Amino acid sequence: MRTAFIEELCELAATDKKVFLLCGDLGFSVLEVFADRFPDRFMNVGISEQNMIQVASGLALEGYNVFVYSIGNFPTLRCMEQIRYDVCYHNLNVTIVAVGAGYAYGPLGVSHHTTEDIAMMRSIPNMLVAAPGDPWEAKLITRYFVQNPGPGYMRVNKAGELAVHSTCGLGAIEPGSLLPIKEGVGTAVVSTGAILDLIVSQLDAKGLRYGVFSCPFISRLDSDGLMGVLKRYNQVITVEEHQLSGGFGSFFLEEINRLHVAGLIDEFPLVRRVGIPDIFQGFAGTQDFLREKAGIRI
């Protein structure tokens, strides 16, 4: 996903002279392609993430479309005050890209487990949160953030994710969309982020004919699309590589409640949430190992 992101950003920066990229002394072997092509619109701010958000805010006030790139918790947990006051309060055109979502950097321990970021970022006014499910979604979300001003947050996995969508089967992505992956009967699985390919493979291995949908933007869902899913399936399972408190499953329940209160659906459907228990995984391990320990399975 990080390669898909930087390739798309380079393509867009070639025609949009306002695209600017900041990093916090990382991204080596990934970001050089942008830095080499656009040296006047790239800056390594160093291991100073809070300052990096402030630099991004200043550039945005000067008219730039700024992307900030760092590992998981460092541009989020460490920078919440700067994100809230400098970026979101002023509704600036700054997109924070956190690489290493969930347990992608699992061998480095809890300091690199990015498991609370969705809950934090979606709670801030003006912030649009995105979690691509595969490299194609990462490309289209990058394009969306370039073309649509305002604060943004995109959490991506590290590397090696499978392309779940076909190259011709995915058009532009808009906030609120539920993207169909597989048709099924009875139960719909709605996933966000890089856990998507694992869920598809688990269902295939078990021979379960569940419907599968990807939700790349964690923002108000399209009412017609959501009601369509709820009419076709009598149970929904939400899946995320994030703590259950305040994460994607909580967001999905909030959206169903919005429809129910508005009288758009008669009954509240059965929803089961799959995600990370609200505990620290106090040991190091691969992403697959930690996902299994957390119980992220259908």
Average pLDDT (280-285) is 89
Residue 228 tokens read as 């369509």
Do residues 15 and 43 make contact, with C-beta atoms less than 8 angstroms apart?
no
Q: Smallest Cα–Cα separation from 157: which of 66, 291, 18?
A: 291
User: Residue 268: pLDDT band by 50, 70, 90 thresholds?
Assistant: very high
Residue 34 CA to residue 137 CA, distance in Å, equals: 20
Q: What's residue 27's pLDDT?
A: 76
Identify the CATH number of the domain defined by range 179-294: 3.40.50.920
Residue 153 CA to residue 83 CA, distance in Å, equals: 10
In the chain, alpha helices (H): 2-13, 32-37, 49-61, 80-82, 117-122, 135-147, 196-206, 223-232, 248-261, 287-294
CB contact set of 87 (below 8 Å; sequence gap of 6+): 53, 56, 57, 60, 94, 96, 127, 151
Which part of the chain is CATH 3.40.50.920? 179-294
Residue 223 tokens read as 């009412």
Buried b (16+ CB within 10 A) or exposed e, 156-181: bbbeebeebbeeeebeebebbbbbeb
Identify the CATH number of the domain defined by range 2-156: 3.40.50.970
- The residue to which tokens 């108000």 are assigned: 220
Residue 45 tokens read as 């701010």
Over residues 52-99, the pLDDT tens digits come to 999 999 999 999 999 999 999 999 999 999 999 999 999 999 999 999
Over residues 118-150, the pLDDT tens digits come to 999 999 999 999 999 999 999 999 999 999 999
For residue 184, the SS3 value is coil
Residue 79 CA to residue 83 CA, distance in Å, equals: 6
Average pLDDT (150-163) is 89
Residue 185 CA to residue 209 CA, distance in Å, equals: 6
Q: What's residue 28's pLDDT?
A: 82
List Cα–Cα distances, 233 to 194, 229, 271, in angstroms: 23, 6, 11
